[in-house]
Amino acid sequence: MGERYLRYRAGRPSPVFCNYFMTARCNLRCSYCPVRNPTGSPIFPFCRRTREVGTEEAKRMVAEAAELGVLWMSFSGGEPLLREDLEEVAGEGRERGMVTILDTNATLVTERRARNLARVFEVAVVSLQGMEEVNDAMRGPGVFRRTLRGMELLREEGVQVGVNFIITHRNYGEMEKVVEFLGERVDSIVFNPVCQAEAFRPRGREVEEVERSLLRLKRENPRLIYNSPQHLRAIGRYLRGEKVVECQPFDLHFSLMPGGELCGCFYPLPVGRLEGNGRELLERGRRMRERLFRECGGCANSSYFHVSHLFRAPPPALLLRRFSP
């Protein structure tokens, strides 16, 4: 980690974080999700076109990400548990020394699957969007209870569980209730504003309320709330319409789409397929970065924000800060 930091400071960065979106399939149909629904984002048409690679190719891509320097790799979707080879593919990353992170809705976790997942994942980030009534209105009947059960099973097997709460105009009033309810049930909670689905954003006075709640929650639960104070302020700026671009695609992070296309982040502007040509693709990505920033509209995604700020921070802060996207 120290070596990566010095390389970054010397102007020779190598990516440390990769999101692998293993599939665009999902067992749920959450109203605000641009992967499954036409919310106006280019993510939806892209996900309809891309075809998932098979197990061997997926493992090869994970191995190549490790060779490029990735330390933290998140396995996401869609719903990654729909891939029966998830553990085998993520296991490749674990064997190569990465911190492997499962990004899931947890509704498909059974006792047996939890045992298998615990062999390859250190951390699970589980989406939950409110207490039962609001969460299920946005995501489908029964989802809240199934999610809680899935989280419980993962924790029983020793996986660290964090909750990812996506702030929308429908659920911002649930943030405090969720923090109070989850306090003893999870290891951390991270807040992210809905993005790429403009119609779902809080507006006007709602944004002020979101900002007040977030700062209060962080003050009262500094360890439980994973967001840094800088990120919480960025959420407010983003929701007020500012174009927030505090990421470093291709230098510190990249993503892999289901078909093996390499992008700078979740935004679907691929620079090519990862086929033994990682360094060349990253270099091509750096040259396309201005175009990406023009097209994406900005975001306040916590993973990209935190990894970028971690490396911009002076060395003592780097040593003190925990990171798990």
Residue 263 Cβ, how far from ligand SF4 at the closest point, in Å?
8
Residue 192 Cβ, how far from ligand SF4 at the closest point, in Å?
11
Decide whether 134 or 310 has the Cβ nearer to ligand SF4: 310
Residue 308 Cβ, how far from ligand SF4 at the closest point, in Å?
9
Total residues at interface with ligand SF4 (CB under 6 A): 13
Decide whether 56 or 295 has the Cβ nearer to ligand SF4: 295
Is 262 a binding residue for ligand SF4 by CB under 6 A? The answer is no
Paired with 161 in beta bridges are: 124
Is 247 a binding residue for ligand SF4 by CB under 6 A? The answer is yes
Question: Given candidates 245, 256, 282, 310, which one binds ligand SF4 under the rule CB under 6 A?
Answer: 245
Decide whether 161 or 265 has the Cβ nearer to ligand SF4: 265
Of 183-242, binders to ligand SF4 (CB under 6 A) are none
Is 265 a binding residue for ligand SF4 by CB under 6 A? The answer is yes
Of 286-325, binders to ligand SF4 (CB under 6 A) are 292-293, 296, 298-299, 301, 304
Question: Given candidates 200, 250, 267, 311, which one binds ligand SF4 under the rule CB under 6 A?
Answer: 267
Is 264 a binding residue for ligand SF4 by CB under 6 A? The answer is yes
Residue 18 Cβ, how far from ligand SF4 at the closest point, in Å?
13
- Residues binding ligand SF4 (CB under 6 A): 245, 247, 249, 264-265, 267, 292-293, 296, 298-299, 301, 304
